[in-house]
Amino acid sequence: MMSRFIIEGGKKLEGEMRVSGAKNSVLPILAATVLNGSLNVIHDIPNLSDVKVMTGILESVGCHVKREGNTMIVDSSELDNHEIPEHLVREMRSSIIILGAILSRCGKIKISYPGGCEIGPRPIDLHLKSLREMGTKIEEKHGYLICEAKQLKGCEIQLDFPSVGATENSILAAVFAEGTTIIRNAAREPEILDLENFLNAMGGKVSGAGSATVYIEGVKKLHSVEHRIIPDRIVAGTYLAAAAATKGKVTLSNVIPEHIQSVIYKLREAGCNITCSNQSVQLVSPTKLKAIDSIRTLPYPGFPTDMQSQMMALMTMGDGISVFAENIFENRYKHAEELIRMGANIKVDGRVAIIRGVPKLTGATVSAKDLRGGAALIIAGLAAEGTTIIENAKHVDRGYDDIHEVLQQVGAQITKV
Ligand SMILES: CC(=O)N[C@H]1[C@@H](OP(=O)(O)OP(=O)(O)OC[C@H]2O[C@@H](n3ccc(=O)[nH]c3=O)[C@H](O)[C@@H]2O)O[C@H](CO)[C@@H](O)[C@@H]1O
Ligand SMILES: C=C(OP(=O)(O)O)C(=O)O
């Protein structure tokens, strides 16, 4: 049976919300646990369906995985397989991040092509180009990638685009490579720095992550490691947008304000009063939301594509016109149609969406088409008059740890059935 969210809109969010560990850090870091052939103790792991898929991948190659609350212990000492089951790869686009890690540890990997997903085609040409430059032989047949590299060699990689996944796969592949690898035009997302910190804590020699040039000096051996995942900046941004949509007042804990500056900047433009301290952010909503002139998604530190849908939900109620440009993914406006069912005024033309604010949204039955689009519908439902039913809640489970419970604690009337 398909799960759904049921929301009675119109309740102000008020109180404190704790932000969970970052999905986009956990996935590459879990992939990296195969490297040390030893124990990995990782704290603040969110309870997400994507984490379950990555756990399944680790178990399929012979890792022992134990979860104790939000701590996960991965023992990769008995790793004995380099073929990744296709059903797991198909379930999650980012399972491709295991490629660099297994190749590094085993010198070979067989994995099915991840293919496209709801938000666009998502090719992996940049991942493969980098791995080839490091000396990997890659055969692409019958939907599978068969990769082999007896000894990867450090080299200079120039990425055509600062792809997050290609940067991570190149770093993972370079950990045991002979010599030094330099990645230029690397993605600068905070999750890449979290991966660097994790690898260095197990004896790796990575530097520069968070900047456009990353250096990886190959090492011969790694050891056991203990690490805490950074807070999820997209979850933080989603909670702030939800509070703003309900004219609420919330304080987020476990958040790194610097990671969400681009989002805070836009929320201030909408009239929100935001104060940041060390690990917390407080938002007080205005009585009337203003339209934000424009939102253009860009690689970090630009405005994140993963916050585009949630901000669009908010701007459906802004006073005036907002123009959005989605520059990262080709097909990331599926939530617009659903928001229109709730009374929003949105016109989409290719990469651009024009949102004319309306005085109020009304509850409706809508369907989540992807993860962040689902979060956007929750935000709209919390603000709308009447009842909203969001079908396909499973998309939201990929990236939010019990979002309905977190929202209930600050006064939302939302259930998941
Ligand atoms: C698990 C994870 O961390 N996921 C994030 C990661 O995804 P992901 O790592 O897949 O995103 P990328 O940064 O690689 O993709 C950005 C753009 O580059 C293109 N591209 C990418 C690789 C490639 O080989 N060829 C190519 O053309 C993609 O199609 C896309 O248009 O970064 C995205 C962009 O911030 C986020 O939305 C995702 O939440
Ligand atoms: C697109 C996203 O994730 P993924 O790359 O895991 O599909 C996301 O987190 O919004």
pLDDT at 118: 87
Instruction: Check pLDDT > 80 for residue 1.
Output: no
23-228 matches 4-20+231-416 in CATH topology: yes
**Ligand 2 pocket: which residues have CB below 6 Å?**
93-94, 119, 306, 371-372, 399
Looking at ligand 2, which atom is closest to the CA of residue 306?
10
Query: 133: CA distance to ligand 2 center in Å?
Result: 27
| Ligand 1 contact via 11 beta carbon (within 6 Å) | no
State how far the Cα of 119 lies from the Cα of 184, in Å rounded to an integer: 26
State how far the Cα of 62 lies from the Cα of 387, in Å rounded to an integer: 47
Instruction: Check pLDDT > 80 for residue 110.
Output: yes
Q: How confident is the model at residue 274 (pLDDT cuts 50, 70, 90)?
A: very high
Q: What is the mean pLDDT of residues 29-43?
A: 98
Is-contact 139 166, C-beta < 8 A?
A: no
| Ligand 1 contact via 163 beta carbon (within 6 Å) | yes
Query: 221: CA distance to ligand 2 center in Å?
Result: 32
Query: Which of 29, 129, 164 gets mutated to test ligand 1 (max ligand atoms within 8 A of its CB)?
Result: 164
Architecture of domain 4-20+231-416: Alpha-beta prism (3.65)
pTM of the model: 0.98
Cis amide prior to 301 (ω within 30 degrees): yes
Q: pLDDT digits over 295-307, tens only?
A: 999 999 999 999 9
ipTM of model? 0.99
Q: How confident is the model at residue 121 (pLDDT cuts 50, 70, 90)?
A: confident
Annotated binding site: 23-24, 93, 122-126, 306, 328
pLDDT at 117: 81
Candidates 3.65.10.10, 2.102.10.10, 3.10.129.10, 3.90.550.10; CATH matching 23-228: 3.65.10.10
| Residue reference for tokens 């056991």 | 224
Choosing from 106, 117, 272, 276, which is the catalytic residue?
A: 117
Structural domain spans, the chain: 4-20+231-416, 23-228
Q: pLDDT digits over 202-231, tens only?
A: 999 999 999 999 999 999 999 999 999 999
Active site residue 147: no
Share of the chain above pLDDT 90, in %: 97
Buried b (16+ CB within 10 A) or exposed e, 58-74: beebebebeeeebebeb
| Ligand 1 contact via 399 beta carbon (within 6 Å) | no
Annotated binding site for phosphoenolpyruvate: 23-24
Instruction: Check pLDDT > 80 for residue 98.
Output: yes
Of all protein residues, the one whose alpha carbon is nearest to atom 7 of ligand 2 is 93
| Ligand 1 contact via 122 beta carbon (within 6 Å) | yes
Q: How confident is the model at residue 256 (pLDDT cuts 50, 70, 90)?
A: very high
State how far the Cα of 48 lies from the Cα of 59, in Å rounded to an integer: 17
Query: 399: CA distance to ligand 2 center in Å?
Result: 8
